[in-house]
Amino acid sequence: MRIAQLQMPVYPDKEKNLKQLEDAVRNLCAESGGNKPDLIAAGEMFSCPYETDKFPEYAEPAGGPTWKRLSALAEENGVYLSPGTIPEVDEERRVYNTAFVFDREGHQIARHRKMHLFDIDVQGGQSFRESDTLTAGSDVTVFDTEFGRGGICVCFDFRFPELARLMVLEGAKFILVPAAFNQTTGPAHWDLMFRSRAVDNQCWTIGTSPSMNPEASYHAWGHSMIVSPWGEVVSEMDEIPEYRVIDIDLSETERVRAQLPLLSARREDVYTLKKVK
């Protein structure tokens, strides 16, 4: 599977952010010479500044104008599109940090509402409270492609190993993580987290971040990366705007699991992990 990661800045202008994504996807597919990506991924809150008071202001419903443009973009270019996240508002005016995935025909095949809200206060570092304006989701989200099953979660979700394991138990061979770690948590835990989840679950982990925008109030860490089921970092960017196209072999998950049978050797007679219905 050929994956393109778009590490882009986020501006206060929603239309500018949408146009930037559309142009990047179209140019990437046009320049590929018939060897275009199968899946294109972007970062968390790609259309909205990462500020709690902005989330309700920028929020749209599923099926709204932004959703329709993303669906059309996937169909137009014949790619799977994981455009990161947008603030999504429901019928009761609750706002979520939501990741959609669209298939090659523009159909929505996944919607994940961030379930672990980023409420932190790091001494001498970052302080942030998503719960001031966001509502938590509650779904474990997987989706199917012709290459195999994928999972998706959002940023802070990936710190919780139970969620990654549940996606893998439901068949995920790769996990997409639109994220926006900051200048405090990024240097400390970004690489460590993606390598740990890959090794623990023997799957591909794919983290895509916005680039660092020095003019924004929230400085994303960037460093979008892809890690193999063996824990090898096969691609990692810096903090600047960039895109990369990487080929991954999803059969690597089965080879690694056969050589080091972590998943099959679990002691379910002693411990279990179950999704609440």
Two structure tokens written together for 117 = 């809200």
CA 235, 238, 239, 245: dihedral to nearest 10 degrees? -40
- For residues 163 and 115, the answer to whether their CB atoms sit within 8 Å is yes
- Residues taking part in catalysis: 44, 114, 155
> pLDDT value at position 124?
66
CATH number of the structural domain spanning residue 119: 3.60.110.10
Q: Residue 25: CA atoms inside 13 Å, Cβ hemisphere, count?
A: 27
- For residues 163 and 137, the answer to whether their CB atoms sit within 8 Å is no
Q: Residue 158, class by beta-carbon neighbours within 10 Å (0-12 exposed, 13-18 middle, 19+ buried)?
A: buried
Residue with the two structure tokens 């929020």: 59
State which H helix or E strand residue 8 sits in: none
121: pLDDT strictly greater than 90: no
Number of domains composing the chain: 1
Structural domain includes residue 267: no
Q: Once rounded to an integer, what is the mean pLDDT over residues 131-155?
A: 97
Structural domain includes residue 189: yes
d(CA 22, CA 28): 10
Structural domain includes residue 198: yes
d(CA 56, CA 51): 10
Q: Once rounded to an integer, what is the mean pLDDT over residues 206-218?
A: 94
What are the helix (H) ranges across 138-211?
A: 161-169, 185-201
Structural domain includes residue 130: yes
d(CA 184, CA 110): 31
d(CA 223, CA 244): 12
Q: Once rounded to an integer, what is the mean pLDDT over residues 81-101?
A: 98
CA proximity to 155, closest of 179, 190, 184: 179
> pLDDT value at position 122?
66
Q: Residue 116, class by beta-carbon neighbours within 10 Å (0-12 exposed, 13-18 middle, 19+ buried)?
A: middle
Structural domain includes residue 88: yes
Mean pLDDT of the chain: 96
How would residue 221 be classed by pLDDT, with cut points 50, 70 and 90? very high
Distances (CA, A) of 151 to 38, 144, 253: 16, 9, 14
Structural domain includes residue 145: yes
CA proximity to 146, closest of 216, 244, 79, 85: 79
Q: Which domain holds residue 56?
A: 2-259
- Condensed to tens digits (0 to 9), the pLDDT of residues 16-62 reads 999 999 999 999 999 988 899 999 999 999 999 999 999 999 999 99
Structural domain includes residue 63: yes
Q: Once rounded to an integer, what is the mean pLDDT over residues 146-168?
A: 98
> pLDDT value at position 125?
62
Structural domain includes residue 264: no
d(CA 55, CA 136): 13
